[in-house]
Amino acid sequence: MKNIDHWIGGKPVAGASDRFGPVYDPATGAQEKQVPLASVDEVDTAVASAKAAFESWGTASLAKRTSVLFKYRELLDAHRDEIAELITAEHGKVHSDALGEVARGMEIVELACSVPQLLKGELSTQVSTRVDVAAIRQPLGVVAGITPFNFPAMVPMWMFPLAIACGNTFVLKPSEKDPSASVRLAELASEAGLPDGVLNVVHGDKAAVDRLLEHPDITAVSFVGSTPIAKYIQIKGIEHGKRVQALGGAKNHMLVLPDADLDFAADQAISAAYGSAGERCMAVSVVVAVGGTGDELVEKIAERAKGLKIGPGSDPASEMGPLITREHRDKVASYVAGAAAQGAEVVVDGTGLTVPGHEDGFFLGVSLLDKVPLTADAYRDEIFGPVLCVVRAETYDEGIVLINASRWGNGTAIFTRDGGAARRFQLEVQAGMVGVNVPIPVPVGYHSFGGWKDSLFGGHHIYGNDGVAFYTQGKVITTRWPDPADSGGINLGFPSHS
């Protein structure tokens, strides 16, 4: 059984807690590795390493930081296939999807390479006689990231490259379900010249998370995961004086108007609902069919869904891989099994799928539910699996009301040829990310990612300008230098702007 190490102080560190979690190959169902679950002392060691490294890294020149990041980007590019293979082996997603994940994470590394521009301050001269005012941004210190299983490389790269570019040091607690990619990212950062202790990876469960939230030397915490845990992270982090950025769950809707290209909409619905086995916070999980589009659209989606090739992510022919664990697979299947009793029509039932040669793998076929009542569990809950719900709306107005009634507001999309309807939608819909004929509107690296309502807790979205603001603190400096010609003297009057 292979043991996965922590990465602390620039080197691998074996777990010492005598507690381990299993790491499976989801395609076979076999436990291939085990990951140590850190004790409080081990978390403290990682934080101490980061704190010591901050003394020099926090004052390192922008030229030094960017030189490391440029080299890091080169190494990531050279090793992208290797990182993707680690993701596929532990998460299960197909190799092409894993490569896409690495590429999207690298966008933030590229953004971090522009940190000299991102950290440019502001200067106002002569605000009063020989008085200048400057605004600058400085690093926070030691910051932490807690990341989910569904993007074991991309989401960590949404956090630590920008944080360290801004001069902070970082402690990453990745998901214990697929931790190897994060360790490899840290190894490559060290190879790029990142000083020891600037980036640390400590594995663990709730005990490690709680210690990061409580530790007095952690200044800020970034989190991506489910809504209940995001709420917990925010409350507990704030209780201990942390700055918190916590991204939660989603139930993303795709509104299809009668004038839309239904073949195109069906293709995009399939890609957005079933890619990565639906284990995406930006997956489309609900299609809102407006007017008379419903029957034809459902027929087109069903036809495409039945033709998908499901198999191990290492097989180039596979279009969708397994789910992350047996327990999660069974939970997702339960929504399909109970849908008819709650009033939905089960158009495609993927719960009986078996993959020859991989009977013990965590596979689940794709499912399509039509005319789903808004009271059904399949509509109300975040399923996080390959289940697409279709609901019907008579008009655009009815559809927008339905979408805005959701407690989540992560992402949403509209499919239409009507520019006026699209413009109205992007202004009226209550969500942080909106796509117009784009089903998964994840922003590029120089814009920020984040939702509204129960999809975001804290004042900042992730990466982009919001990421820079989150990982830095502002300082305003007012200066006056006497002119050599001044005679000086005492003046007890109230200062005036003259």
- Tell how many helices (H) and how many strands (E) occur in the chain: 16, 23
Please tell me the distance from the alpha carbon of residue 8 to that of residue 186, in angstroms, as a whole number.
Answer: 9
Compute the residue count for the chain: 498
- Find out whether 433 and 459 touch, Cβ atoms under 8 Å: no
Neighbours of 59 (CB within 10 A): 11
Report the amino acid identity of residue 308. L
Token pair of 239 as six digits: 């209780």
Which residue pairs, CB below 8 angstroms and at least 24 apart, start in 342-345?
342/373, 342/375, 342/376, 342/377, 342/378, 343/371, 343/372, 343/373, 343/375, 343/376, 344/369, 344/370, 344/371, 344/372, 344/373, 344/376, 344/378, 344/389, 345/369, 345/370, 345/371
CB atoms within 10 A of CB 297: 23
* Whether 153 contacts 105, CB under 8 Å: yes
Phi, psi torsion values for 355, nearest 5 degrees: -105, 115
What CA–CA distance (Å, rounded) separates 134 from 123? Answer: 4
Rounded CA separation 304/86 (Å): 29
User: Residues with Cβ < 8 Å from 373, sequence gap 6 or more?
Assistant: 342, 343, 344, 379
Distance of CA 150 to the CA centre of its chain: 9
DSSP assignment of 166-180, as one string?
A: TT-EEEEE--TTS-H
Classify residue 218 as exposed, middle or buried by CB count within 10 Å of its CB (0-12, 13-18, 19+): buried
Nearest Cα to Cα of residue 449 among 460, 435, 436: 460
List 113, 166, 281, 389, catalytic entry:
281
Q: Give me the amino acid identity at 369.
A: L
Phi, psi values for residue 227, rounded to 5°: -65, -45
The yes-or-no answer on residue 281 being catalytic is: yes
Query: If we measure between CA atoms, which residue out of 388, 410, 447, 464 comes closest to residue 281?
Result: 410
- The span from the CA of 397 to the CA of 418, in Å, is 15
| Active centre residues (catalytic) | 281
